[in-house]
Chains A and B, each alone.
Chain A
Amino acid sequence: MKLLTHNLLSSHVPGLRPGGGFPLRIEAAEVRERPVPFNAAFVSRLVPRLRWDALREAAESLGRPSELPPEPTPGYEADEEFLRRLHHVLLEVEVLEGSLQCPDSGRRFPISRGVPNLLLTEDEA
């Protein structure tokens, strides 16, 4: 699971307060970094889609001190250094084993072999 994916995930355990399922807290047992070809335009276009705080939090929770600014700086589209750092955090860091915890309910969803399983049980749904 890449951190870009994580940034899109939200718990859908029923009964949460609005927005209460995001962001999922990462508990990582195994993380790997793998190079991915850098594409500035691609990364730049992702920025408006991101929940920035959650991204920084996620990066830090993986023990990777966030090299990201508190907010995307104006003119980021042309800032290659910024984009490369963002690229790294979003696409090159993967959680292979661990779990994702719903902030409101505490419910944990497993991640195994890089695949998060966010199915609810029949009772929960």
Chain B
Amino acid sequence: MFLESNLYGMEHEATQLEKQHVHSVYENTAAYFSDLQTKAWPRVRNFLLEQKPGSLVVDIGCGTGKYLSVNSQVYNLGCDYCEGLVEIARKKGDEVLVCDNLNLPFRDQCFNAVISIGVIHHFSTKQRRIKAIKEMARILIPGGQIMIYVWAMEQKNRRFEKQDVFVPWNKALCSRHFSESNQSGDKAGFVHTAKGQDIHPAKLVISECSYQNNLQPETDSKHPRSMDHCLPRACCMKISEEENRFYSALGRSFRSWFFSRSLDESALRKQSDKMKHLKHEGVWANSAVPIQHSRHCSLDLGHHGALLNEQSLDDDDDVFVESLSLKKPQWSPATDAPKDLSLNGGHQNVAQSKGDKSSFINGPVEDRDCICGCNKDGAGKSDASKFFKRTSTTDSTDSALDSAVSVGDQTDAMLDPKAFMRYYHVFREGELSSLVEENVPELQILSSCYDHGNWCIIAERRGT
């Protein structure tokens, strides 16, 4: 009885968390997507291009419809929870609808292929992630295939300490400025504009997208580029290696991390514990919070588990950088309730810093032991992990935080009042495959790999 009510409570919490830190963020930031474009990832493109002509293909979580124009020989349908993003896709002429991944409004077994690119990592519990996958399996015809991409916990030479993270997005950083000034994709213009502005370095965005464009040459420059869920949009332009270094140098001076608690862990605690204000529990005691801002490493490592020993990349390519020596900030503990996690400069709470020591692993991620206190999804965990908040920037763009905040006690000023925090559950190596193998028997995994900081699987619907 207790467990049931606890699970019910968790479901409600999960929806609230997602409402606040997924749906409303995308809805509020959708307007910024329209004038910026990101490239479609080659592996996803290839998957789509391999579908036979006349196939019915659906992109669940299509955003602005980036993948809906890749293969004109198939019928492309897109759907997303976010109306704002869907509108943008519609204006491009895509066939789209608004719906919920957890409750797909399609009849059983009608699609030849499904893609889910950077979507299910937004679900805040394991059960919801499973349900999302099961729904997508349901609508696949036997023999039909699904490709799923989720953010990886393991980034080049580093790994996140926690799997449940918030990624900030600062609206101010996604200024039309950046996009307007770079309409023509003129790199020089971009740099000039940025430098010419009296822009506080903290306000510059180090984006994954631009970085990605830089490191991964566009395989097909004629390919229509469309939007992604990557923010801010300003970043999604080609910039030179030089510019990248410039921005990443700036970026290093203001990096921050926020971790969310895992809702799955919460379910194992007493109901009453969940409501206790953490301040009194000293749960922060063990949690170090280096202020770090990381860029997503857009390396396509090309093969499974090839995260290690990427000596060819220079320091700029590191997603994580050792935190600078900072004055110990005055953090206040985060409260438990999801509603307090919403960002609003003022009451954003972060964990008590233990010191300046970086809690990120330096060096290759060969050491799979959880030396940084990673949590396993669903298991009861240490208190420290729970109410910890740091941002991870495994994806796209991250807002740069005001460098002034990283030192001292200006936690209020730490985040732009207009910042939005997106929730992500980043996946460990093998987690996505296990999730499918253990919970979605109707799917058979055909392949898995690591791509651009994501874990990717392709699976086929069993049956005849």
Contact = CB atoms under 8 A, between A and B. Distances in A.
Interface of A: 1-2, 4-5, 8-12, 21-22, 39, 41-46, 49, 51, 109, 113-120, 122, 125
The binding surface of chain B is classed by DSSP as: mixed
Contacts of B96: 115
B103 A8 contact: no
B107 A8 contact: yes
Given A2-B95, A41-B53, A116-B97, 5 more contacts: A1-B95, A45-B53, A46-B54, A109-B105, A113-B87
A113 B86 CA distance: 11
A43 B54 contact: yes
A41 B107 contact: no
B106 A9 contact: yes
Nearest to A24: B105
A46 to B, nearest CB: 6
Nearest to A43: B54
Interface of B: 15, 52-56, 73, 75, 77, 81, 83, 86-87, 90, 95-100, 102-107, 110-112, 141
A91 to B, nearest CB: 8
A109 B79 CA distance: 15
B54 A44 contact: yes
Contacts of B86: 115
Nearest to A37: B72
Given A119-B81, A119-B100, A8 B106 contact: yes
B272 to A, nearest CB: 25
Contacts of B73: 39, 42
Contact of B98 (A4, A11, A115): A115
A41 B54 contact: yes
B353 to A, nearest CB: 37
30 contacts: A4-B75, A8-B77, A8-B110, A8-B111, A9-B105, A9-B107, A10-B106, A11-B105, A22-B107, A39-B53, A39-B73, A41-B53, A41-B54, A42-B54, A42-B75, A45-B52, A46-B54, A46-B56, A49-B112, A109-B105, A113-B87, A113-B90, A115-B83, A115-B87, A115-B97, A117-B98, A118-B97, A118-B98, A118-B100, A122-B15
B40 to A, nearest CB: 22
Nearest to A50: B110
Contacts of A114: 90
B98 A8 contact: no
